[in-house]
Structure 1
Amino acid sequence: MTTATAPAAVVSGGTRGIGLELSLRLARLGHPVVALYRGDEDAARRAERAGDGAISALRVNVAVPDEVRAACAHVLDRYGAPGVLVNNAGVNRDGPFLTMGDDQWRDVLETNLSGPFHLSRALAPAMVGAGRGSIVNIGATTAIRPRADGANYCSAKAGLLQLTRCMALELAPHVRVNALLPGFTETSEVIERYRLDDPERRAAVLATVPQRRTGSPREIADALEFLVGEASAYVTGQHLVVDGGHFMG
């Protein structure tokens, strides 16, 4: 792992799945990484080992403002203003609209939409003060295309796109804010959720993707590297879809 020379990076949901790959990529780019996680201690320890000293896991529920404030105070005290914030933490609690419970709605909105708000609000002042930084909100194509049984998730991700634009407008010119929208990505969560371990189901899903394959976490990390790097210095307030052409709009 590369010795850290860049400012710190904070990745919520940064110890599993795509989030872990994003944490590892930022560490390889020289950032000391604070990977936030909600409850999976085993995954947190594995992420720290994989980071070979460059990743520090910190437990926090991004849906709870007091926890976010305490965690961010720790980050700022130890590392100073971060150079990168990746709002990746998210939950799914699917169900039909007509029978969706208050807790299903609330939990998804508070984690997937309010969580990025709480984290960004806590860290952005220091980033603005430092005169630099990049915030990347991890969205989903369901932000721009609805699906059945996902009113809560789709609404949260749609709100995240507008939050991205508002933040980009208000944090300019020094802090850039963009959204990264992965498509079907080969992670255990996606495989389980879409039943991709069933060959017939996988074939049906891939038939809807022009490239006829799932993406890899590495490819999502490639897109993140672009969004936080100098190559995208003139890009802010945008959303980058990485989905093999599944959604074109």
Structure 2
Amino acid sequence: MPDRIAVVTGGTKGIGVALSRRLARLGHHVVAVYRADKAAADLLSDELGDRVETVRLDVADPDAVAAFAERVLAAHGAPRVLVNNAGRNLDGPFLEMSDSDWQQVLDANLSGPFYLTKAFAPAMLELEGGASVVNVGATTAIRPRLDGVNYCASKAGLMHLTKCLALELAPAVRVNSLIPGMIDTEEMRTRFRVADPTARADLLAEIPQRRIGTPEEMADALEFLVGEGARYVTGQKLIVDGGQFMW
């Protein structure tokens, strides 16, 4: 069993599964957390074998997160890498948004990373050679959109949580934000109607590189952030978007 442990929330689908695969390839034993889709978790387990274990967890439940962290620490010790990637998206107009839809998104996207990092950070601070936390954000943390007040607010909060944690956990634990642009996932294809030629052309016109990114390119960026090449990088945001936003 590798002595490097990585925990990836939302680690069995979309961008998250690419991050889990890359960390496993880099020699980590990956604990990939999922909320509901057991079929996707089973596929990843079949693919990576003993390099991964999948765990069902609601990251918005602080008691469940604390118990999960205790099990991981007891079985494997402190993670060298923690990737807070899990999130929820419940869109709707502000004036029609229910309290539940507001709270569920805040709980998953902002409180979840807080709970996970708080649970693991004390042990990560003791690791020789340091450790890394990567919070997966969103471009809507900087530029808002219609019908997404809960999501935008949660990701803006996550960006500042990243900076605060980078201050408080330095120098042993580096904390950075990884922000995807238009990355080829099922959710992105549906939301932006990329199967429609006109919608796709309009989308690509906004991206200087004139293409949609891949989950593997997000994994490339993660590899940099958790590697030795980024040992002097903390409290930063790395936007992988083909030049679409340039913030």
TM-score by length of 2: 0.98
Unmatched 5+ stretches in structure 1 = none
- 1:146 matched to 2:144: yes
Q: Secondary structure at the match of 1:52?
A: helix
Which residue of the partner structure matches residue 158 of structure 1? 156
Which residue of the partner structure matches residue 168 of structure 2? 170
- 1:64 matched to 2:61: yes
The 4+ residue runs of structure 1 with deviation greater than 4 A are none
Q: What is the RMSD computed on CA atoms of the aligned residues? A: 0.9
Please, which of 123, 126, 129 is the counterpart of residue 123 of structure 2? 126
Q: Secondary structure at the match of 2:112?
A: helix
AA in 1 matched with 2:17:
L
Deviation at 1:100, TM superposition (A): 1.1
AA in 1 matched with 2:231:
A
- 1:223 matched to 2:227: no
CA distance in 2, matches of 1:203, 1:53: 42
Please, which of 8, 17, 26 is the counterpart of residue 29 of structure 1? 26
Which residue of the partner structure matches residue 183 of structure 1? 181
Deviation at 1:202, TM superposition (A): 1.1
- 1:40 matched to 2:37: yes
Deviation at 1:50, TM superposition (A): 1.7
Please, which of 208, 211, 219 is the counterpart of residue 210 of structure 1? 208
Please, which of 113, 117, 129 is the counterpart of residue 114 of structure 2? 117
Deviation at 1:5, TM superposition (A): 3.3
Q: Secondary structure at the match of 1:157?
A: helix
Q: Secondary structure at the match of 2:7?
A: strand
Equivalences, count: 246
Unmatched 5+ stretches in structure 2 = none
CA distance in 2, matches of 1:202, 1:91: 24
AA in 2 matched with 1:16:
K
Residue range with higher mean Cα deviation, 178-187 or 98-107 = 98-107
CA distance in 2, matches of 1:91, 1:194: 17
Deviation at 1:118, TM superposition (A): 0.5
CA distance in 2, matches of 1:198, 1:178: 35
Deviation at 1:6, TM superposition (A): 4.3
Please, which of 77, 86, 93 is the counterpart of residue 89 of structure 1? 86
